[in-house]
């Protein structure tokens, strides 16, 4: 038997038909929503159904020196969960149970494969919710959110994943199970390894359970408004004015002209006026109406044309335009979906930089932003020319434009990624933000958890 055949045989001794070597499964494990795909097929996809399945897989991998790439729903946008030649794709998507809900403690314990929206639908029966709200909430998993440090539309008011996770159960590369963190509101015993795991993109271990910090459902009403502006800089300036006014909306999303027009076309809505950018804002809680009226006044003073939704249904229609951004981009061509963040006051300046990059590099970069927290998603659209193995190479001139844009964000005091992670697509810029000493220290930490380097190799810290 070949080495790969031996690995598959050892996996099947315990896992049986949960070891999948069908061409369809292997091809699916190569790619995520970034448009990037790994070169070559993984040797197998393991559909883990329990912690024991994960431990057995990692013990076999450790004993044979076989790399392992952990996957959830495959909705990542940085290529971080793509499995290639000679690797085991370890899927935890079938581990989707809610293990415990403790309403009095505002805590839930869940498996990693549960979908965000399904979790919150179940929690609603207890009068509870989990705050992280990525635009992909209907298809992304809690484990994937934790692995990438995901954000979402509600981050400005309710925080990111890091603010909503109390602990994780982690299986190390050698199969040992660690229970990290706590289920108390406070807890500072030892180093905070839970926070280290959040955003580690599968390089430290496999998350097999998470203890989540919940919130009670927000009382009162929800008010949603949309404001259009003649250009994106005016919209960004208005968003900064809302923040400066001391009003805290739950959602504040900005769409530039190109992204707004694409979403309208996808949804068969009347096209917006040329150049029009839009802010979509939602307030919640007992003061929702008062805050919405105050925000409307700020936006009108900033030159916006404001529409205040009369009910929840109309408000959801307004938000649907924003949530349609990614499928709308897919109608324009192949898309490199990027993710930078800057201080909120620097949002107008970052849109100036995007406009400069467009002019100087001759590209169009439709952009949306979580304007409430300064997180932007520039989209580089280009014609797809698939290679023989089905992968699509990002053209050199697109990477040059992206490089310019990333460095602009860093100059403005920002970061390379607010929520998508580094994965494959941004690893070449990581040391530019961290500096050599910190880059080496972080890489060395991964080797403490995984001395053989079999967990998600080629991602994040690969030079």
Look over the chain and give the mean of its residue pLDDT values, rounded to a whole number: 94
**Which pLDDT score is estimated for 334?**
86
Residue bearing tokens 């097929």: 41
Compute the 3-state secondary structure of the chain and give helix, strand, coil in percent, each to the nearest 5. 40, 20, 40
pLDDT in tens, 248-278: 999 999 999 999 999 999 999 999 999 999 9
**Which pLDDT score is estimated for 392?**
73
CB atoms within 10 A of CB 357: 23
**Which pLDDT score is estimated for 133?**
79
Range scoring the smallest mean pLDDT among 45-49, 61-65, 134-138, 350-354: 134-138
pLDDT in tens, 5-24: 999 999 999 999 999 999 99
Cα distances from 327 to residues 33, 158, 262, in angstroms, run 11, 26, 9
Residue 313, φ and ψ in degrees, nearest 5:
-60, -45
Work out the average pLDDT over 208-220.
Answer: 95
pLDDT band at 2 (very low <50, low <70, confident <90, very high): low
Dump the DSSP string for 230-296: SSHHHHHHHHHHHHHTT---SEEEEE-HHHHHHHHHHTTPPPPPTT-EEEEEEEEETTHHHHHHHHH
Work out the average pLDDT over 290-297.
Answer: 97
**Which pLDDT score is estimated for 162?**
93
- Rounded to the nearest 5 degrees, what angle is found at the Cα of 31, between the Cα atoms of 30 and 32? 145
Tokens of 169: 């159960």
Helix, strand, or coil here: 151? coil
- Rounded to the nearest 5 degrees, what angle is found at the Cα of 428, between the Cα atoms of 422 and 432? 95
End-to-end Cα spacing for the chain: 34
Nearest to 87 by CA among 53, 60, 50: 60
Work out the average pLDDT over 121-125.
Answer: 96
Tokens of 239: 């968003």
Nearest to 224 by CA among 362, 345, 317, 148: 317
pLDDT band at 390 (very low <50, low <70, confident <90, very high): low
**Which pLDDT score is estimated for 394?**
87
Q: What percent of the chain has a predicted confidence (pLDDT) above 70?
A: 99
Work out the average pLDDT over 127-148.
Answer: 90
Question: pTM for this one?
Answer: 0.92
Q: CA-to-CA distance for 242 and 296, rounded, in angstroms?
A: 9
Nearest to 346 by CA among 314, 323, 313, 369: 369
Q: What percent of the chain has a predicted confidence (pLDDT) above 90?
A: 86
Work out the average pLDDT over 410-428.
Answer: 94
Note the helical H segments in 342-390.
347-361
Q: Domains in the chain and their CATH numbers? A: 3-91 (3.30.43.10), 98-216 (3.30.465.10), 221-322 (3.30.70.3450), 328-421 (3.30.70.2740)
pLDDT band at 134 (very low <50, low <70, confident <90, very high): confident
Tokens of 408: 């602009």
Q: Say whether pLDDT at 211 is over 70.
A: yes
How many secondary structure helices (H) and strands (E) does the chain include?
Answer: 16, 19
Q: Say whether pLDDT at 240 is over 70.
A: yes
Tokens of 403: 């490089």
Work out the average pLDDT over 33-53.
Answer: 93
Range scoring the smallest mean pLDDT among 127-141, 369-383, 396-410: 127-141
pLDDT band at 138 (very low <50, low <70, confident <90, very high): confident
Work out the average pLDDT over 105-109.
Answer: 98
Nearest to 182 by CA among 163, 166, 162: 166
Range scoring the smallest mean pLDDT among 30-39, 136-145, 321-330, 389-398: 389-398
Q: Where are the beta strands (DSSP E) in 350-451?
A: 367-370, 375-382
pLDDT band at 389 (very low <50, low <70, confident <90, very high): low
pLDDT band at 39 (very low <50, low <70, confident <90, very high): confident
């Amino acid at each position: 038997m070949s080495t790969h055949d031996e690995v598959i045989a050892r996996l099947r001794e315990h896992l049986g038909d949960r070891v999948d070597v069908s061409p369809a499964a292997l091809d699916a494990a190569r790619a995520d929503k970034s448009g990037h795909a790994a070169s070559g097929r993984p040797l197998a996809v393991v559909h883990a159904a329990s912690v024991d399945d994960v431990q057995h897989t990692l013990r076999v991998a450790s004993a044979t020196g076989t790399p392992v790439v952990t996957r959830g729903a495959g909705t990542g946008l940085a290529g971080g969960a793509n499995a290639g030649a000679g690797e085991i794709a370890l899927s935890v998507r079938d581990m989707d149970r809610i293990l415990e809900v403790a309403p009095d403690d505002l805590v839930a314990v869940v498996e990693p494969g549960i979908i965000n929206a399904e979790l919150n639908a179940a929690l609603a029966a207890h009068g509870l919710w989990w705050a992280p709200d990525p635009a992909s909430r209907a298809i992304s998993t809690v484990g994937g959110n934790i692995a990438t440090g995901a954000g979402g539309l509600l981050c400005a008011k309710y925080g990111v994943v890091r603010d909503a996770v109390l602990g994780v159960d982690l299986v190390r590369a050698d199969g040992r199970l660690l229970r990290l963190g706590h289920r108390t509101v406070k807890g500072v015993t030892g180093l905070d390894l839970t926070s280290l795991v959040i955003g580690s993109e599968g390089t430290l271990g496999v998350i097999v359970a998470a203890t989540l910090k919940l919130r009670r459902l927000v009382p009162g009403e929800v008010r949603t408004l949309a404001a259009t502006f003649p250009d994106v800089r005016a919209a960004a300036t208005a968003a900064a004015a809302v923040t400066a006014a001391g009003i805290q909306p739950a959602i504040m999303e900005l769409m530039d002209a190109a992204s707004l027009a694409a979403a309208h076309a996808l949804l068969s809505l009347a096209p917006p006026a040329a150049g029009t950018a839009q802010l979509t804002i939602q307030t919640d809680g007992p003061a929702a109406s008062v805050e919405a009226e105050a925000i409307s006044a700020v936006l009108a003073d900033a030159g916006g044309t404001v529409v205040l939704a009369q009910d929840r249904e109309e408000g959801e229609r307004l938000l649907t335009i924003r949530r349609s951004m990614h499928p709308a981009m897919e109608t324009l061509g192949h898309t490199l979906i990027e993710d930078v963040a800057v201080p909120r006051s620097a949002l107008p300046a970052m849109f100036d930089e995007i406009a400069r990059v467009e002019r100087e590099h001759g590209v169009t970069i439709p952009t949306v932003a979580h304007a409430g927290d300064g997180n932007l998603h520039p989209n580089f659209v280009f014609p797809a020319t698939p290679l023989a193995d089905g992968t699509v190479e990002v053209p050199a001139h697109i990477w040059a434009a992206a490089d310019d844009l990333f460095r602009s964000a860093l100059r403005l005091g920002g970061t390379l990624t607010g929520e998508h992670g580094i994965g494959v697509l941004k690893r070449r810029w990581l040391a530019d933000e961290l500096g050599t000493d910190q880059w080496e220290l972080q890489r060395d930490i991964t080797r403490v958890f995984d001395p053989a380097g079999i967990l998600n190799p080629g991602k994040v810290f690969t030079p």
